[in-house]
Amino acid sequence: MNQTAILSESKIDHQIDILTESKYVFETEINAINLVKDALDERFVRIVELISNCTGKVIVTGMGKPGHVSRKIAATMASLGTSAFFLHPAEALHGDLGMISANDIVIAISYSGESEEITKILPNIKIIGATLIGISGNQNSSLIKYSDYSFVFPKFIEACSMNLAPTSSTTVEMVLGDALAVCLSKIYGFHEHNYALYHPAGSLGKKLLIKVSDIMHKDEKNAEVKAGTKLKDAIVEMSAKAIGIINIVNENHELLGVFTDGDLRRTFTREVNVYDLSVDDVMAKSPLYIDSDMLAVDALKIMKDNNISALPIIRNHKLVGTVRVNDILGVGIFV
């Protein structure tokens, strides 16, 4: 019998009800989360308070699957205002322990509490003088014995059918880490603007950080003419700048009016002679405008609410630029 036939026969012999098995995994891991939730007590509160008062860094370490979880926990903490990073325990054995100082807090995660790479760095962490927080499922483990503070998970089973592969344990480690990060962020008074500062490339970061002055058409790229300019010359300027609007200003560079592509089309339907008219004759006077410090997302809302595609931008009562709907959408801001 060839290998393909053997594999096919093996699949037939081990057919499962996929939906039933999948639901079992969900139920098992949800049960583990609920057990840990019910086990939260003063130990967890003390750990949160300890980290919130840390004057150094928070270092999260773990090996294998808990290592992947540790990396994510450190990243979540960092994004929510806690100065944290992940330390690989194997690399720590070869010099990276130098990243730890006495005023730091080390969170070591090992469900068994006996991961070799973790247990080997514990004595050195103590010699350095950093505070050690152990998170494990084994109260009698080396990790918990070395730890200054600890949280021990209640007993639950892994979702793996052999009760071996880290499944439920890594899930509860992840959720516990999220709980730490979120509670700490609330203690710090972390809010949307802080989050945006740490996530400038994200959608929220763009909405809360990008101002119209960051993306406006200005200087030689802005379309503007002085009052009294012939309409034909204003049309040439509008065409050259290609932003769909031209701003009309006085000698002090104060905005007097605007003339848009739509205004131009409506002017031509009246069969007027553009050589006879001044831009003053056709401009929209007292136009809607915005301040240069306005957030781009707020400008976009104004343009959508008023069904216009561009707005003049003012600073200290003087025209400084123009922003269009497409400019704002182009940097990834939507409403």
Q: What is the mean pLDDT of residues 265-278?
A: 86
Confidence (pLDDT) at 191: 87
Confidence (pLDDT) at 184: 97
156-188 pLDDT, tens per residue? 999 998 999 999 999 999 999 999 999 999 999
Whether the predicted pLDDT of 5 surpasses 60: no
Per-residue CA distances from 69 to 25, 88, 137, 293 (Å): 19, 12, 15, 41
**Residue 65: which pLDDT band, with cuts at 50, 70 and 90?**
very high
Residue pair 129/145 in contact (Cβ under 8 Å)? The answer is no
3-state secondary structure of 120: helix
Confidence (pLDDT) at 272: 80
Q: Percent of the chain scored above 90 by pLDDT? A: 84
H-helix or E-strand containing 327?
helix 325-330
Whether the predicted pLDDT of 113 surpasses 70: yes
H-helix or E-strand containing 256?
strand 255-260
220-248 pLDDT, tens per residue? 999 999 999 999 999 999 999 999 999 99
Q: What is the pTM (predicted TM-score) of this model?
A: 0.75
Q: Percent of the chain scored above 70 by pLDDT? A: 96
Amino acid identity at 101: S
Strand ranges of the sheet holding 224-226, from the earlier edge strand across to the other edge: 224-226, 245-249, 255-260, 284-285
**Residue 201: which pLDDT band, with cuts at 50, 70 and 90?**
confident
Confidence (pLDDT) at 307: 95
